[in-house]
Structure 1
């Protein structure tokens, strides 16, 4: 199977999930994230804004902000496939629906944060494997972004257990995950 086939299969599977299943599994996954040392010690946290039955991240964002953490969310630059990490101050006022259909910061609310200042990044994806590889949505946004973060910054994918396969296709430029957290397991990169 190539990456495109894996994306199609996983995208269909995720879209078939009920709202109750998404909510139940997301709650468990977010609790696991919040109990990790990496989350507890992080001061600047980048979190993707979930949509389309992804693990629901808005509770994590709310709780992190309540804990006094700086929460950073991605603003995507379509023509260069870059992410601008943007400080989120107010969920209600700072976000709008992007051309891709998901929420992202309003252009006039962008307060860029340097990649080197981010301690922990919560990463989306369509498929993962037990070797900590990730298949995203095919544009390389997160691979480019993660390549710019500091060496001791951690990345943590959140996914449903069915998204973690034995092995997936990957390329040399794909960035491996430090952690993959599902409703059933926490996978850690042994490297």
Structure 2
């Protein structure tokens, strides 16, 4: 199957999810994330605000802020993304695509040794490959920064394939979390 065929298949399956299923699975996935040693030990993390039937991250953003973590979220800047710190959910504004983004005020300062980042995606495999939304924002961001990232993805079970196509520029993920557990790659 080609990347675009997989994207279409996943979009159709996500569109059929009920709010109850999204809420239940999102809650289970978030709890597994919050239990990670890496989460407990980090002082800052890079998240994204979910949209379009993604695993709901807004409660996670609130919890991280309550836990005293510095939280940064992405903002699309033409052909790239940059990450900016927020102090609350109210710091987010809706983009032209309907995605909640931070105001471009307080830019993320990456840590040299370890940056925990939650990466969105449509499809994943057990070898750490990821199919995103097709713009390669995250792949280009990782390639353009020398810092170390621990890349974590949330997924519904139907988003996980045995194997998906990938290209040389695609950056692999490190941890995949579904309602069924945590897969360290």
TM-score, normalization by structure 2: 0.94
2: distance between equivalents of 1:135 and 1:123? 11
Q: 1:149 to 1:85 in 2, by over 3 A?
A: farther
CA contact (8 A) 1:134 1:176 kept: yes
Offset of residue 149 of structure 1? 5.5
In structure 1, how many angstroms separate the alpha carbons of the residues matched to 2:41 and 2:111? 16
In the alignment, the residues of structure 2 paired with residue 66 and residue 102 of structure 1 have an alpha-carbon distance, to the nearest angstrom, of 23
C-alpha distance in 2, partners of 1:90/1:59?
A: 11
- 2:86 aligned residue: 88
Q: 2:30 corresponds to which residue? A: 30
Please list every run of 5 or more consecutive structure 2 residues that lacks an aligned counterpart in the other structure. none
Give 2:62's aligned residue. Answer: 62
Q: What is the root-mean-square deviation in Å for CA atoms of aligned residues?
A: 1.3
For residues 130-188 of structure 1, what are the alpha-carbon distances to aligned partners after superposition, in whole Å with 9 as ceiling and x for unaligned?
A: 1110000000011122232522x311011111111000010011110000000012111
Quote the residue 2:126 is aligned against: 130
Query: Conserved in 2, the CA contact under 8 Å of 1:133 and 1:174?
Result: yes
Q: Which runs of 4+ in 1 moved over 4 A?
A: none
Residue 170 of structure 1 corresponds to which residue in structure 2? 166
1:158 is aligned to 2:161: no
**Corresponding residue number in structure 2 for 1:139:** 135
Q: In 2, Cα distance between the equivalents of 1:149 and 1:162?
A: 33
Deviations 1:110-139 (A, max 9, x none): 211134466200111000001110000000
> Structure 1 unaligned runs (5+)?
none
8 Å CA contact retained: 1:14, 1:53: yes
Aligned to 2:106: 111
1:29-55 superposed Cα distances (whole Å, 9 cap, x missing partner): 000000011111111100011011100
Contact 2:55-2:154 at 8 Å conserved across structures:
yes
Q: What is the number of equivalent residue pairs in this alignment?
A: 183
